[in-house]
A and B are shown apart, each in its own frame.
Chain A
Amino acid sequence: MTELAAQPVAGRPSALRSFVDFYATTMRTTIQTQFQYRAAMYGYTIGMVAEPTIYLVVWTTIANSHGGAVDGVGPHAFAAYYIVWTFVRVMNIVFTPYGWEWRIREGQLSGQLLRPIHPIHYDLAWFAGQKVPWLVMYAPIAVGLSLVFHPSFHTSALGVVVFLVAIWGAYLIRSLNQFWLGMFTIFTTRVGAIFQVWFLAELLLSGRLLPLPLMPQWTQELAAWLPFKWTFYFPIEALVGNLSNAALLRGLGFQALWAAILGAVAVGAWRLAVRHYSAVGN
């Protein structure tokens, strides 16, 4: 017998370097996997474009029938909102709570628990990689939509910078949100109904369905106390250019706050869930 295995692997890279390497490798793996599913990728892209295009056509029609604007928002402003919306939506695609059921049933969670890295990192890296081909595919579509709908942007340099940070902040917030929500699956099966309520709230209070200023006042006040608007409305508005510099920086601050709160919730939920995990059947 040799003593090779009795020693830890020598010359292990530093923690930070390994961390970056893990994210880069996982993202590369995701992109390769995406390329295996060309038809699915085209399908997702069409689906991704269809939703905002429908909203855009509907609101443009309503605006035109109301003398050119709805509550001061005209067709070109709607065009800007929903074209950026799609970029933000792509950034907001994360591992859904529904996926946890599959993950447990197929034994994938057991496999992940045996790895010396927290599953949230795997999810963050995996879905970050997924965005690359989608964003590349959406870019020419956005140009086409711009030529048809003539969006009006009032973007500042600070707005662009904040947008580039905010879309990753949105990604982190939404990932953490859905991560802790997914923990319900470890305690009980068939939790789809809970998720549906959550997603409905998100649809209405995030700016996904329509710009928040078009919602009733009480809805806007409620949205201010929840994390959803920082994942859709805020990054969209940062690029469209309707926020002051102070509002842009305050928005990043709120994103950081929500990321910290949801990070703590996710860690707590994870610890409870892992203790409860029964790994039955796989």
Chain B
Amino acid sequence: MGVVEVQGLEKVFRVPEREAGIGAATRSLFRRQWREVRAVDGISFEIEPGEVVGFLGPNGAGKTTTLKMLSGLLHPSGGEVRVLGHVPNRRERDYLRRMTLVMGNRNQLQWDLPALDSFELNRAIYRLPVDEFRQTRDELVELLDIGDLVRKPVRQLSLGERMKVEVVGSLLHLPQVLFLDEPTIGLDVTMQKRIRGFVADYNARYGATVLLTSHYMADVEALCRRVIVIHHGRLLFDGQLEALTHRFAPLKTIEAVLADGETVSLQVPKDEVSGATAQLLAEREVVDLTVEDPPIEDVIEQVFATEAEVVA
């Protein structure tokens, strides 16, 4: 049985809309027009305990809406969701104590106080025994190396520092399921790497299940063996990251540096790589040669462009 079970999940928003201008504004006073937006359109998947899954899609694909339904913030319009055996939108306390949703743009810390005070508040909210809380807090603070940050007022922390502290605050109750929505957004490369390493460590140490959205493919490559891709609220792909590359990137790139300094770049079908390489080596004097899959960003772009429903 999966930790996360999603079957035919749907979310439809009803949004008001009107044309620009004073006339339209006046008309909307008396007769408002509404449009239904299918943010999530019947997606199904399952996640096993301890898996780290990348949840990918362009802006507006329905990723965050899905995470909000999985965490219980939103009521689905249709379909079924179970996480850790709970129906999330019932927001049962036992469920809320066992999961967390980290959103890169949200601040749940007390702005004027050192983060340690916010952590203490979380201890009381999650009913954590004091000794266990202190042990977990110190462990997480050490994992993210933020010992010198947690005593400063949160308002004096940089964005990256705040994000790290925020992540620790979200994990003090040792959730079994982590929904991470763009946890590295706006962070510099070093900070991104640190957060990535932390998520990997947390997963390894506590066996937590992680569903992660990110526009940084480095996050996905570093953490996720499996990815789920959605677009316009519909599932496009669910499978191993390698399989995604294999399916949507039939070409490999051969790059060769020749003896005269010229660089040659060839895009060839995968099953013709050995032949093409041999031919290149036979015909030209090659001093360096690499064969690579295309960047994952290009692969994902290809998936969105294809938009065919392909469930591995």
Contact = CB atoms under 8 A, between A and B. Distances in A.
Interface in A2-45: 2-6, 8-13, 18, 21-22, 24-26, 29, 32-33, 36-37
Nearest to B203: A1
A36 B207 contact: no
A24 B124 CA distance: 9
A36 B123 contact: no
A244 to B, nearest CB: 42
Contact of B74 (A33, A107, A279): A279
Contacts of B207: 1-6
Contacts of B118: 29
Interface in B90-141: 91, 93-94, 96-98, 100-101, 103, 105-108, 110, 112-113, 117-118, 120-121, 123-129, 132
Contacts of B91: 113, 274
Contact of A29 (B13, B117, B126, B128): B117
A6 B117 CA distance: 27
Nearest to A280: B13
Contacts, number: 116
Interface in A110-146: 110-111, 113-117
A172 to B, nearest CB: 21
B8 to A, nearest CB: 20
A8 B94 CA distance: 9
A22 B125 contact: yes
Interface residues of B, number: 47
Interface residues of A, number: 39
B208 interface: yes
Nearest to A12: B127
A277 B71 CA distance: 14
Contacts of A32: 113, 117
Contacts of A33: 110, 112-113
Interface of A: 1-6, 8-13, 18, 21-22, 24-26, 29, 32-33, 36-37, 107-108, 110-111, 113-117, 274-275, 277-280, 282
19 contacts: A1-B204, A4-B206, A8-B97, A10-B129, A12-B128, A25-B123, A29-B113, A33-B113, A36-B112, A111-B108, A114-B72, A114-B101, A116-B94, A116-B97, A116-B127, A117-B93, A275-B75, A277-B73, A278-B13
Q: Which 8 A-B pairs have the closest CB atoms?
A: A1-B207, A25-B124, A5-B206, A116-B93, A116-B96, A36-B112, A18-B127, A111-B108
